[in-house]
Amino acid sequence: MNIWTTMRYGSRMMRLVVTGMLGILLLGLAGRNIARAGEPIHLFNGKEPDHFYSYLRGIGLDKDPHAVFTIQRGVLRVSGEDWGTLMTRKEYDNYHLIVEYRWGDETMGDRANKARDSGVWVHSIGEEGARGDAWMLGIEVNVIEGGTGDLLVIGDGSDTFAAIALVRTDEQPNRYVFDLNGEALTLHEGRINWWGRDPGWQDVKGYRGSRDVEKPPGHWNRLDIYALGRNISVILNDVLVNQASQVRPYRGKIQIQSEGAEIFYRRIELIPVED
């Protein structure tokens, strides 16, 4: 499968054009060929999340007394009641991850009135619960109202965890925003906001930014994550929203967060690709 990029960045809208083949530019890495390296892996098949196991804060491994993770009519529901994660039993690298999700109505705990929050983590390594007694360390693709597509390096501050991104800081002082015309920044810990994140973002339930690509609660969204070698591209509803290169680690487990908000998944599929 050939991959190339067509983007418009004029009005700050980088629109990914899909015409049978998919476009990606990976920070100076253009014109490469991406070929499938194996059959798709249905991490969630609508029946049982056999490829995952769970970890919940204060509860531990594979125990779910409050039914945080349930399957309803072929859809995986994550209630958000207990903070924690579903994580894959295996580690992966070089893949195209497809996640289709929608927000539910419920929010709870100390996030009851705050923006619906979750996340898809890649390249997760180390001990379960190493971060906040809830998650493994790794690279998070944030899923949060107004900020879906943010990339976070969540590590121990060492060289084991890192990413380089092109960023600007003009709209949000002391914060980094992905910008193809920006300057290269290396992070060992921290966040790279997606290019359209509203500088006036507020942590309130139902928040919508003026440039949001994510659809409102109740509507299905598609998140495509390309982990190719040491590069990551994040595409939300056919729009390229974030990228990073020289990502460390470059392989690991995949995590699906529970973080105070109800969220549903109807598709979690991993397609192995050649580096």
Q: Residue 16 falls within a domain, yes or no?
A: no
Q: Residue 68 falls within a domain, yes or no?
A: yes
Q: Residue 13 falls within a domain, yes or no?
A: no
Q: Residue 18 falls within a domain, yes or no?
A: no
DSSP 8-state code for residue 171: S
pLDDT over 70 percentage in the chain: 86
Confidence of residue 38 (pLDDT cuts 50, 70, 90): confident
d(CA 53, CA 116) in angstroms, rounded, equals 23
d(CA 67, CA 69) in angstroms, rounded, equals 5
Q: Tens of pLDDT along 191-241?
A: 999 999 999 999 999 999 999 999 999 999 999 999 999 999 999 999 999
Q: Tens of pLDDT along 132-159?
A: 999 999 999 999 999 999 999 999 989 9
Average pLDDT over residues 123-140: 97
**pLDDT of 15 strictly over 60:** no
CATH of residue 183's domain is 2.60.120.560
Q: Tens of pLDDT along 247-263?
A: 999 999 999 999 999 99
Q: Residue 153 falls within a domain, yes or no?
A: yes
Entry pTM = 0.88
Q: How far is CA 186 from CA 21, 27, 94, 126, 248, in A?
A: 31, 13, 22, 22, 11
C-alpha closest to that of 266 among 43, 86, 41, 22: 43
C-alpha closest to that of 65 among 78, 87, 49, 82: 82
Q: Residue 149 falls within a domain, yes or no?
A: yes
Task: Domain count for the chain, please give it.
Answer: 1
Looking at residue 35, its pLDDT comes to 76
37 alpha-carbon distance from chain centroid: 22
Bond from prior residue into 65 cis (ω within 30 degrees of 0): no
Q: Residue 156 falls within a domain, yes or no?
A: yes
What single letter denotes the amino acid at residue 111? R
Residues in the chain: 275
* Domain limits for position 55: 38-272
The better pLDDT of the pair 121, 30 is held by: 121
**pLDDT of 25 strictly over 50:** no
Looking at residue 33, its pLDDT comes to 56
DSSP 8-state code for residue 10: G
Looking at residue 172, its pLDDT comes to 67
Q: Residue 14 falls within a domain, yes or no?
A: no
Beta strands in 93-155 (DSSP E): 95-107, 117-125, 137-144, 151-154
Looking at residue 23, its pLDDT comes to 36
